[in-house]
Structures are given as C-alpha cells and as structure tokens.
Structure 1
Amino acid sequence: MNNRIIICTGGQLGSWTVPLIHPGDTLIGADRGALFLVQHGFTPDLALGDFDSVTPEQLELIRSNSRESLAYDPIDKDYTDTELAFRHALDQSPSEIVMLGALGSRFDHSLANVHLLKLALEKGIKASITDEHNTITLAEIGTTELHQSDYSHISLLPLSEQVTGITLHGFAYPLHEATLQIGQSLGISNILADPVGTLTVRTGILLVIQSKD
C-alpha cells in the first residue's frame, strides 16, 4: 500500500515536477503549490496556506478542485505555509514525504525547508526535497545506501556542528572515519564509482545532496 505524501509548495516548479507524482500519492498543496497541482490536472487531498500569492479567482479554483482546504491568516501564524504542510504530513505517519517546489529564489525559505527534513528524521520518516537539479536528504548514525541515478554528483555537508566517523565505500573519492565540521567543503562533488555506494556516519547529521547540472 502506497503511503507516500507529496507536498507541492510555492518555489520553483515546472514540467519536471509532473512525472515525480505517482498514482496513489497523497497530495498536499501549499499556497501556490496547490495552484500548480490543480492547473496540471491533479486533485490535492489538502490545499492549505495563507494564499497570499494567488488571486481571489485562483483561490476559488484551488478550493473547488481540492478535497479539503485550510486557510490561515498571513499574520497570525507561527509557521510558513510549507512548514504547516510538512507538519500536517508528519501527523499522518507516512512511509515517505517528498517536497517539490521547496527550493527557489528565496534562500531563506529554501534553507528553512531543508531544516524541515530534521523533523522527519526525528520521527523516523523518510523525507526528501527534489527539484530539477537536486535531491536532498539527511543521513544520521548508521549506514545509508546511495544508488547511481541521473543526479550524478553527491555532496556531503554537516547539518549538525560536527559529523564524525564518515566512511564512504563505492565512491570515486572514498573516506574513512573522516570528520566534517560546519565551514568545510571537503564533502563537495563526489561521485559513485559503483552502482551502489554506502555512507556510514558515527555521530551527527549529514546533508546528502545529489545533484546534476
């Protein structure tokens, strides 16, 4: 049974987005992300946000083509629209959460959305941010498998102040018991030499960014 939630939010979206949405996915549209879903023939299971980036006519289109909608006051709320959607998704205890449109021209929003991945990590829920050029996940204590894909470059950056015991197998540039601290670029632009590589972490949390030009 598919228990994956797709959150479509208001950053950079395009034709690349549509093939990433699979039959059976639960769809949450945050603000303008809901409009994107509706305009591309999808029916959001939930549309939410303050909807300050859509016109009244577009908002009516969203409401009339969504199974449920929740409107929030743009001033009297503690979370961004994306975080509201993400927290709602976490409450459903899905097998996976994928955020689309979570990266864009507003770096503050993009970085905040990356930080949301930690909320899923704490609950043991697989979560990622994907766009046309990147897919971003987190890795913590233990071993993670990484597979060759269209996202050919793999960069590792510490999300916690320090990450220790980083060991890479199957990579062009292997590491053994390495330590990364915030402010270092040692982990940028590695590639897989084997179809499947492994990443082991002893302490801390790593951002794993798989990217392509």
Structure 2
Amino acid sequence: MRVLIFSGGNLNTWALSSIKEEDYIIGVDRGAYFLYSNGIEMDCAIGDFDSVTKAEKERIVAKTKEIISCDAINKNETDTEMAFNFALNKQPKEILLFGVLGTRFDHSIANIQLLYSGLDAGIDCKIVDERNEIQLVNSQLVIHKNRFKNVSLLPLTFEVSGITLEGFNYPLTDATIRIGESIGISNILNGEIGKIGKITIKSGILQVIKSND
C-alpha cells in the first residue's frame, strides 16, 4: 500500500497524476479542499481546518471516509506532522507528500525533516512538487532517471562520509560532505530516461533532491 498526503502548500493538478486506484489518500487542511475541488474522494482528512471556511469543511466531510480534527492552538504538531505520523502507523510500503513546500520556509524545512522518521521506520518517503522530489538516504539508494534533470546531495547530519556514486556524470568514491559544502549540488544521472544511479554512504544522512529549473 502507498499513502499519499496532500497538504496546503504548492499544489496544482500536476499532483493528481500520481494517484493510483489502490492508494490511501489523506487530505490535510487546505489540501483536503484541493482534493475535494478536483473530485478526489479521501480516505481521511486531518487538521485544524483553519485554512478553510465552514462551508468548505462541510464539503470536505461529505467526500471523506474519516475526519480527524484538532484544535488550532492547543496542539504540539503541525497538521502535516499529524498526517505523516498517522500514515507511518499504517506501515505502508511508501509515503508520498504533496503540497508540503511553499511560501513558509520554516514549514518546508520542518516537512523535509519529517522524512527522517520514515527513514528510521524503514518506509520509503518522498516529498514531491512540480519541480522537486526529495528523499533521504542513510545507507544505499537506487534512483531512476526521470523527468527531473538535476540530482543534488546535501547533508542532513553535520557530516556524511563514505559517499560513493555510480551512474552519475560526476562520480564520487568514499567521499565526505559536511554542512556548508556545495560539492553535491547539480549532479546528473548518465544515460537515457529509466537508467539508474546508485548512492551508497557509510555514515550520516543525505538529502537527495531531484529537481528542474
């Protein structure tokens, strides 16, 4: 099973093409109304719903199998973190997060850091938007060449060591990248669409960011 989470950041109809019939769909606050507006029935809607009107929330409820509401002030988690933890408890094969990047840079950083919990649980997790795809690696990761041209590697921990890249234009062998160094920016996978690249590290956690300009 895959779980797809739609939050209230940068979203448009491009995100709908990722939905498969068997996916478990979670709408988060304004993201739930985005799904409703595009005729997508949700398995669950989560949040304080302070970004929608009363009438919009009623429409969300009508198109959702389960509603999990929380107080807008008395809570210790963002709506997206609530949804992510809910998804982790279902122990799916994969979690995809849409609409979790946007104008609030603090929220964007917090949502990238959520991926650590997925990595710790052994669940493949990705943040996807129109121009970016973000995931973490702490041992080995195989990625496929797709619509994203660039592949950048940035440390999430202070230091990531033993980095070896195969199938990249700019290979590395047993390299170390520390926070503040940009050597991992804008690499490119070799070959045609569908070809693979392999990232192996010995210690630390890397952010793998596939992107287009």
Give the alignment's TM-score, normalised by structure 1: 0.97
For structure 1, list consecutive stretches of 5 or more residues without a partner in the other structure. none
Decide which of 36, 44, 51 is 1:46's aligned counterpart: 44
Decide which of 89, 108, 122 is 2:87's aligned counterpart: 89
Match of 1:179 in 2: 176
Secondary structure of the 1:193 match is: coil
| Per-residue deviation, 1:48 | 1.0
| Per-residue deviation, 1:98 | 0.3
Match of 2:99 in 1: 101
Match of 1:151 in 2: 148
| Per-residue deviation, 1:20 | 1.1
- C-alpha distance in structure 2 between counterparts of 1:212 and 1:21, whole Å: 22
Decide which of 26, 29, 34 is 2:27's aligned counterpart: 29
- C-alpha distance in structure 2 between counterparts of 1:121 and 1:144, whole Å: 11
Give the alignment's TM-score, normalised by structure 2: 0.97
Q: Moved runs in structure 1, 4+ residues, more than 6 A?
A: none
Match of 1:73 in 2: 71
- What percent of counterpart residues are identical? 48
Match of 2:121 in 1: 123
- C-alpha distance in structure 1 between counterparts of 2:20 and 2:101, whole Å: 21
| Per-residue deviation, 1:158 | 0.3
Match of 1:200 in 2: 200
- C-alpha distance in structure 1 between counterparts of 2:87 and 2:38, whole Å: 22
Given residue 39 of structure 2, which amino acid in structure 1 is its aligned partner? G
For structure 2, list consecutive stretches of 5 or more residues without a partner in the other structure. none
Secondary structure of the 2:198 match is: strand
- C-alpha distance in structure 2 between counterparts of 1:90 and 1:146, whole Å: 22
- C-alpha distance in structure 2 between counterparts of 1:212 and 1:198, whole Å: 20
| Per-residue deviation, 1:102 | 0.7
Output the aligned Cα RMSD: 0.7
Decide which of 125, 131, 147 is 1:133's aligned counterpart: 131
